[in-house]
Amino acid sequence: RAAALSPEPSERARLLARAAADAWRSGDADRARRLVAATDDDALGGLLALRAGNATDAFDALLTAAVRYAEDGPGPARTDHPQHAAVHLLARATEAAIYTGDLRRCREAAAVADRLGIVPPGTLGGLAAAFEGRYDDARDLLKAAAGRCGPGGDPTLLIHSGIAALMLGDHTAAATATVRAAASARAGGDGVTVPQAMEFRAYADFWTGRPRAAEAATLEALRQAYTTGQDNGACHLQAALAMFAAVTGDEDVCRERAEAARSYALARGLGLPAALALFALAFLDLSTGRFAASAARLRALAAFGPGHGHRAIRHIATPHYVEAAVRTGDTRVARAAHADYDHWARTVRSPDDLALSARCRALLASGAEAVEHYRTALDLHASGTRDFERARTELLFGGALRRLRHRTEARDRLHSALEAFEHFGSPQCAAVARTELRVLGEPVSPVRGADDLVARLTAQQLMVARMAADGATNREIAARLLLSPRTIDHHLRGVFARLGIRSRIELVRLLGEG
């Protein structure tokens, strides 16, 4: 309104830009875009492109704006200190580089920061150093960034702290930083940043073995991202949900969400969600015994460049690629991939990464040598936080012990893995553990305990079942879960088959009893 009443063009542009910034922070993305279109503010334009446009274009606009703020002072949209604004814009440009997975752009941003005498977010220099193989430098830069996760503070920098902690394998610190980022954003009335924090919180939740608990929170973040016009963030969250579905054995949901994420991501140069979605499909193949298909997907992931793949996802997928490659007899490339992974693990000294490296070494060995590597891996897992991967290590170790005829220890390891998979709600991994136990002659019930409505259903099936029992139609459930009605119908048929019932009335009765 003030802009409309202002007779001065420069003042009108300044007020429009501030109105656009306020509209964006309040979650009104459409209004923000209309206002930005009437201004010449490359910073705001870059921010909107980062969240709902082409990530490469966003990077270029944000880096240009950072240079302008540092050299010429703030533009019409902001009144804060130019140096602070430039640092903030470099942080956003770093996010764009992270989304694309483009090493060249990471280097470009780091060079601009150096030229301007700006200390950039640690994730920027850390990413560039890690991608270039300078692992000691990367570790030091990322540790400095990860240390900035105290209470309060700038939500953007807290998110970067979480990203740095993730790269270092410290999932507890990553969860802490992203939770504090969301809290700080809420306290400051910056609702658009909350789902951004959840994008990276999802990684920590996945690796620490809480897919069921994290799924609902990620789904809510997905709704918020769509509501606030952050379609790029929503794409990343879709890929995370595909990963959760892969862990919980929900093949249809995994494929639907992964395909949706990849289709959107590839059109906008979003290498990070594109790679994560492909990893979800590869993990699904691996957990269901389709080892050749899993290895092929992971080899493709390693070959994809910026906008189609991502070095960070390729790195975290390495232990799974080694497993799939060993299962198909292709160990030459697996050994090279493991060597690089082991170098990083030894540099950052993450217990979880070291455990997974030892597991890779066990898979690539045989006999007594493999057994010792598995024991080392489990000792390291005991100091880490990746509980789901610890269970998978026990499963692989139990199978190796069975083949070596160490029946008693094999039985113990497999029972431990089975119990963990049932707790995590991972029926496909649990089924493999049961199969191994049956080969040992161990009687194993299809489900454990009496509470085992939950154990019989995947996470999505349980969610659909509860909504259906509450009276929601298939179309209403589809709208709430952001899935297709066809998928919901398939899920309900699967629920009825797994529970041995034939109607919604029986479902209501059964859930009421549970």
Q: How far is CA 64 from CA 95, 108, 157, 160, in A?
A: 15, 11, 20, 21
* pLDDT for res 91: 83
pLDDT confidence of residue 77: 44
Per-residue confidence band for 481, with pLDDT thresholds at 50, 70 and 90:
confident
Mean pLDDT check: name the lowest of 141-150, 228-237, 329-338, 446-455.
446-455
**How remote is the C-alpha of 95 from its chain's centroid?**
14
pLDDT in tens, 243-257: 999 988 889 999 999
Does position 448 have pLDDT exceeding 50, yes or no? Answer: no
User: Higher pLDDT residue, 237 or 452?
Assistant: 237
Largest CA distance in the chain: 87
Q: What is the pLDDT of residues 366-405, one digit of tens each?
A: 999 999 999 999 999 999 989 999 999 999 999 999 999 9
For 54, phi and psi rounded to 5 degrees? -85, 125
Is residue 459 within 8 Å of 211, Cβ to Cβ? Answer: yes
Ordered by start, the domain boundaries in the chain are 243-449, 459-513
Residues 361, 364, 365: CA angle, nearest 5 degrees: 85
Say which CATH architecture domain 243-449 belongs to.
Answer: Alpha Horseshoe (1.25)
What is the tens place of the pLDDT at every residue in 147-188?
A: 765 556 888 888 988 989 998 988 888 988 998 999 898 888
Mean pLDDT for the chain overall: 86
Class of domain 459-513: mainly alpha
Position 513 confidence tier, pLDDT thresholds 50, 70, 90: low
What whole-number distance in Å separates Cα of residue 243 and Cα of residue 211?
A: 9
- What percentage of the chain carries pLDDT values higher than 90? 38
Compare 189 and 256 and report the one with higher pLDDT: 256
